[in-house]
Amino acid sequence: MAELVESARGKPPGTSFVNDPKVRSIVLQLLALIVVVVLGWMFVDNARENLAAQKIATGFGFLDNTAGFGISQTLVPYTETSTYGRAFIVGLLNTLLVAVVGIILATVIGFLVGVGRLSKNFVVRTLSATYVEVLRNLPPLFQILFWYLAVLSALPSPRQSISLFGEFFLSNRGIIVPRPLFGEGTALVLWTTGFAILATVLLSSWSSARREETGRGLPMGRIGAVILIGLPLAAMASTGFPITFESPELKGFNFVGGVRVIPEFVALTLALSTYTAAFIAENVRSGIQSVSHGQTEAAHSLGLRSGQTLRLVVIPQAMRVIIPPLTSQYLNLTKNSSLAVGIGYPDLVAVFAGTTLNQTGQAIEIIAVTMGVYLVLSIITSVIMNAYNRRVALVER
Amino acid sequence: MTFAIDDHTFVRQELHTPLPPPRRNIGVLGWMRENLFSSILNTLLTLFGLLLVVLILPPLVRFLILDAVWTGDNREACLAPGTGACWPFVKAKFGQFIYGFYPIDQRWRVNIVFALGAALLVPLLIPSIGQKRLNALLFFGAYPIVAFILLTGGNIDASAFLFQHFGLFSGLAGASVAGVKLAFWLDFLLTAGLVTGLGAVIGAALGDARGVARIVASVFLGLGIITLLWDIDFGLQPVETRQWGGLLVTLVIGVTGIVTSLPLGILLALGRRSKMPIVRLLCIIFIEFWRGVPLITVLFFATYMLPLFLPAGANPDGLLRALVGVALFTAAYMAEVVRGGLQAIPKGQYEGAMAMGLTWSQMMRLIILPQALTLVIPGIVNSFISLFKDTTLVLIVSIFDFLGQLRAAFTDPNWASPVTLYTGFAFAGIVYFIFCFGMSRYSMFVERRLNTSHRH
């Protein structure tokens, strides 16, 4: 009996330590750790040797050196004599510009197509389904090249450019739009606009709080319109309309005045937003379908109209399902903006991991920074979307 | 009391046949009223949609078929204004699109690889054909090795293993039988024996010499078989990966990515759900890192940064580097898909398996993974589709896949015509669409077939 108790306390007879979960867990973790540490040490050691052998400098000192190359689209002042650090910022801003514009466009198109897929209208439904299937099943780089090489390069030269309202010009050099000129008093107009937006937001939140409490709110649609349009208009009138637009004009072979949106930007943004929109449309469709039909029927029987049902009952519930995958679509779009390098749009990868890397050869620092930027962008986007998700998530008892 | 039965009363025995519904509610007209013109907005949408169809469809059909040029030897055939697609261009460049610059007299090897792949893949995809286990083993185990030998020519330069670094076996340098280097293999066997012995000694100290020795020996055996097969000289002319291109490269990257990322992803997913803190942390860092960066930066990393991390002189093949990058990148996404499946399995399944006395690996292999993987088949196929689309990115690190060859073909002055570009894009678009659409339809088919859940 005593022996039995003894053996039950120790390891059971006849089992190997190989099968002991505790031993296994420790050995496995130690092995994993050793492999990672040894690999890391080998990488560092090799890198040090290789860098020394190839006489490549290390550290981030190169960021202060003169870049010496031009960039076709710069949101902040940049010349060939600017530093690599400046080039990095220009590239980063260009990436962000594509990401933000692309996300807005993709969301709008995606919601329209997603609702269209559920439409009762046969033509709309079929067209939406075709859109989704075709765009989702073609590689994004293919689509970017298609827009760039087959659509935008095929536009006429500036001399024969297609004119819209005499103010916008489409040509193979990009889109020329009027340039806003800010005269005296612009600051006042901008401040008033900001104030109008703030006032509308505050008033509408107060109004909805009051409606929750008393059942009676303000007609916010009309009041908001009056504030948002009236106040800035009044400010503009009182300062004598300081913001004017300089129309582009064709002089010789090119345009003078106006702002040129480079074709690379147009191709990239169009391709990415239409591509991502196909995925967003599917998310929207599945979100709306996840709201059971009983909700719609209940809303109708309460006397809500179709529009109200959609706005107040279906969409708030669908949003819970839509938001998480929407977040990853936004992240995908941001990451896919790196495909810019395929058509020469000066985004972060093209400017920094491309030209700067070729000129300085400091691969480790540059690629680490580039990857780091995308990691940070991913984290920021998901933090914002998670916060929004928490707001719309179902609060359970 | 009796009822007087009036024989003259007529009671109709069967129901009157219902009147047909109003003409405006049935048939084509009714359908159109209901579906297309039910309100003003709906009518406008219908008209707008029809306008789009009219604007897009007829020109597309005219370009692709009616106005297309079907025969010709060079650009002259496609120069006439108003011509549609220039199909002779695709025909002339077809070999290049499929094989890249693979030597023309060696293309039969690629064809065998394609045929073998199809012969193994098709029965794997059709549910009613049996022997799935053997089939999967052949496709995922044997096929990659055979394909590697056929495509590269095999006969890899198996150079120094371990002891040769210390000058052992130097007398045998250059001696080989059928391409198998004797020095290397003596070295390999010696190392395998020594390491297995060492494992046995350590195992004996801990109480189980045989168990440890068996694990170590089987690892070496597997490694040895693959290396031996690659080492044998089959007399095939070596073809460098630099000469590969076109659809071949697209499929090589796609299939390698699929074959490697699934097991790697399963391991990562299991690691992420493991109770071992170090393993879990390493897996989380690995997965989140790869998922947070774009594939392009991964490819840049593999092309420019990886060579710096490897010993001087070790200059791995460009395609291999891209393959490693793609495989790791896809594995991270696959891991998240598999983790979703693992999380969906109720705890009772784990507890039941453990109560039956199954070991952890038996539980995972026999109970959990079969259910979890079945649940996430659509997600896995989606990952494959995006992997297939992502193969196009290797174009940016100068590997000429299908899209890369297409772009290169545009610059050929022999075929420079106004429609060359559109023809190429149409052809490539159709090819990519067939692959991706096919995969997505197949995943929907499997999903429906396996859908045994109690959905209403």
pLDDT at residue A1, as a whole number = 46
> pLDDT class for B3, splitting at 50, 70, 90?
low
Whether residue A316 lies inside any domain: the answer is yes
Q: Which of A336, A371, A373, A378 to mutate to test the interface with B (most CBs of B within 10 A)?
A: A371
Task: Give B176 or A232, the one with higher predicted confidence.
Answer: A232
Q: How far apart are CA A88 and CA A74, in angstroms?
A: 11
Enclosing domain of residue A269: 84-153+263-392
Whether residue B416 lies inside any domain: the answer is no
pLDDT at residue B455, as a whole number = 47
Q: Does A341 reach chain B within 8 Å, measured CB to CB?
A: yes
Contact indicator for A128, A298 with CB cutoff of 8 Å? no
To 10 degrees, what angle do helices B377-390 and B246-272 make? 140
| Percent of chain B topping pLDDT 90 | 11
Whether residue A72 lies inside any domain: the answer is no
Question: What does the longest C-alpha to C-alpha distance in chain B come to?
Answer: 129
Q: How far is CA B387 from CA A170, B43, B380, B439, in A?
A: 35, 41, 10, 12
Whether residue A354 lies inside any domain: the answer is yes
pLDDT at residue B319, as a whole number = 87
Domain total of chain A? 2
Q: How far apart are CA B87 and CA B422, in angstroms?
A: 11
Q: Does A363 reach chain B within 8 Å, measured CB to CB?
A: yes
pLDDT at residue B456, as a whole number = 40
Chain B: closest CA distance from residue A189 (Å)? 38
Q: How far is CA A231 from CA A191, A224, A239, B376, in A?
A: 10, 11, 12, 55
Domain of A269, CATH number, reads 1.10.3720.10
Q: What are phi and psi for residue B314, nearest 5 degrees? A: -75, 110
Residue A271 and residue A148 share a domain:
yes
What confidence tens digit (pLDDT) does each residue in B209-223 have? 777 788 888 888 888
Whether residue A27 lies inside any domain: the answer is yes
DSSP code of residue A342: G
Contact indicator for A317, A291 with CB cutoff of 8 Å? yes
Whether residue B338 lies inside any domain: the answer is no
Q: How far apart are CA B206 and CA B212, in angstroms?
A: 10
Whether residue B433 lies inside any domain: the answer is no
Q: Is it the case that residue B34 has pLDDT exceeding 80?
A: no
Chain A neighbors of B391, CB-CB under 8 A: 139
Both structure tokens of B425: 């894009």
Residues of chain B numbered 372-401 and touching chain A (CB < 8 Å): 385, 388-393, 395-396
Q: Is it the case that residue B330 has pLDDT exceeding 90?
A: yes
pLDDT at residue A277, as a whole number = 95
Q: Is it the case that residue B362 has pLDDT exceeding 60?
A: yes
Task: Give B66 or B266, the one with higher predicted confidence.
Answer: B266
Among A53, A70, A92, the domain-final residue is A53
Q: How far apart are CA B245 and CA B406, in angstroms?
A: 10
Task: Give A18 or B348, the one with higher predicted confidence.
Answer: B348
Residue A121 and residue A40 share a domain:
no
Chain A neighbors of B309, CB-CB under 8 A: 42-43, 46-47, 50
Residue A104 and residue A39 share a domain:
no
Q: Does B275 reach chain A within 8 Å, measured CB to CB?
A: yes
Chunked in runs of 10, what are the mean pLDDT values of chain A (397 residues)?
Answer: 48 61 80 88 84 77 78 80 86 92 94 88 90 93 91 77 74 77 76 87 86 78 82 79 72 71 90 95 90 90 87 86 86 90 88 85 86 88 79 64
pLDDT at residue B168, as a whole number = 63
Q: What is the ipTM of this complex?
A: 0.82
Whether residue A346 lies inside any domain: the answer is yes
B46 to chain A: closest CA residue: A123
Whether residue B52 lies inside any domain: the answer is yes
Residue A268 and residue A378 share a domain:
yes
B56 to chain A: closest CA residue: A127
Domain total of chain B? 1
What number is the average pLDDT over the span B283-295? 89
The model's pTM: 0.82
Contact indicator for A359, A69 with CB cutoff of 8 Å? yes
Say whether B407 and A145 touch across the interface (CB within 8 A). yes
Residue A362 and residue A284 share a domain:
yes
Contact indicator for A141, B388 with CB cutoff of 8 Å? no
Whether residue B45 lies inside any domain: the answer is yes
Whether residue A143 lies inside any domain: the answer is yes
Contact indicator for A263, A152 with CB cutoff of 8 Å? yes
Enclosing domain of residue B39: 23-66
Say whether A145 and B393 touch across the interface (CB within 8 A). no
Whether residue A96 lies inside any domain: the answer is yes
Residue A381 and residue A269 share a domain:
yes
What confidence tens digit (pLDDT) does each residue in B375-404 have? 888 888 888 898 999 899 988 888 888 888
Q: Is it the case that residue B445 has pLDDT exceeding 90?
A: no
Contact indicator for A210, A223 with CB cutoff of 8 Å? no
Q: Which of A17, A120, A137 sits opposite B437 (nearest CB)?
A: A137
Whether residue A304 lies inside any domain: the answer is yes
Residue A270 and residue A136 share a domain:
yes
